[in-house]
Amino acid sequence: EAAVTQSPRSKVAVTGGKVTLSCHQTNNHDYMYWYRQDTGHGLRLIHYSYVADSTEKGDIPDGYKASRPSQENFSLILELASLSQTAVYFCASSDRQSNERLFFGHGTKLSVL
Amino acid sequence: QQKVQQSPESLSVPEGGMASLNCTSSDRNFQYFWWYRQHSGEGPKALMSIFSDGDKKEGRFTAHLNKASLHVSLHIRDSQPSDSALYFCAASGSTNTGKLTFGDGTVLTVKP
């Protein structure tokens, strides 16, 4: 089973502060993603990356930046956290042959106060 | 309008019963579908994919796709309490980008 590890598991941030969420995968997958889940709703794609040192915008990129310094690591950065960014964030990975089967981490619960 | 719509929002079935979940896409570019399951406090896990018209069976799970209507369903036979979870339908216009569009999910409760 693919392993995707997210840190921290939960975080409380202040409005206007900077937040960095980290993701590490040990499966040699090329593709990595950041999704956001709001209570009672499905997941929405924020940013994704197909190769190290390159990131792409997903469906809801505003207010977020991403960084992929290596194949294994993918970070999500909130430069100026806002109340509306309170959510659970999931990192996922997949390989080119998996036909879009995503392997998700356990998620990071972010509360912005 | 949400591009991937799921119904019902919640569903309760007795242990050993059949659970049926539905999903429809309003975007004709979405031709490929996945079902994911999320237990409380965990990340979603892929159950199965379906890309062709007809049925696909994996153990107790059967998915059915009608490409003409962009409707996909998931049927779980002999439901177990451990099947209680949030089920997501996800759709994509390709099979190799990982860019999935998720529905809002169906909460399934299996009562012992």
Per-position pLDDT tens, chain A of length 113: 559 999 999 999 999 999 999 999 998 999 999 999 998 778 999 999 999 999 999 999 999 999 999 999 999 999 999 999 999 999 999 987 766 689 999 999 999 99
Count of CB atoms situated within 10 Å of the CB of B29:
13
d(CA A112, CA A7): 16
Q: Is B100 on the interface with A (CB under 8 A)?
A: yes
- At which residue do the structure tokens 């429809």 appear? B24
Q: What is the pLDDT of residue B2?
A: 75
What percent of chain B clears pLDDT 70, i.e. is strictly above it?
98
Mean pLDDT, to the nearest integer, of B59-76? 96
Q: Is B102 on the interface with A (CB under 8 A)?
A: yes
* CA-atom Rg of chain A in angstroms: 13
Chain B environment of A99 (Cβ under 8 Å): 32, 49, 51, 95-96
Q: What is the pLDDT of residue B98?
A: 75
Q: Which of A22, A26, A19 is nearest to A3 (CA)?
A: A26
Q: What is the pLDDT of residue A1?
A: 59
Name which of B36, B98, B103 is nearest A33 (Cβ-Cβ): B98
d(CA B70, CA A44): 20
Name which of A4, A42, A96 is nearest B104 (Cβ-Cβ): A42
Give the number of residues written for chain B.
Answer: 112
Name which of B42, B49, B99 is nearest A99 (Cβ-Cβ): B49
Summarised one tens digit per residue, pLDDT across range B68-104 is: 999 999 999 999 999 999 999 999 887 777 789 999 9
Average pLDDT of every residue of chain B = 93
Q: Is A38 on the interface with B (CB under 8 A)?
A: no
Q: What is the DSSP letter of B14?
A: E
Q: What is the pLDDT of residue A93?
A: 94
Q: Which residue does chain A place closest to B6, by CA atoms?
A: A42
Q: Is B103 on the interface with A (CB under 8 A)?
A: yes
Three-class secondary structure of residue A83 per DSSP: helix
Summarised one tens digit per residue, pLDDT across range B32-48 is: 999 999 999 999 999 99
Q: CA neighbours within 13 Å on the CB side: how many for A66? A: 28
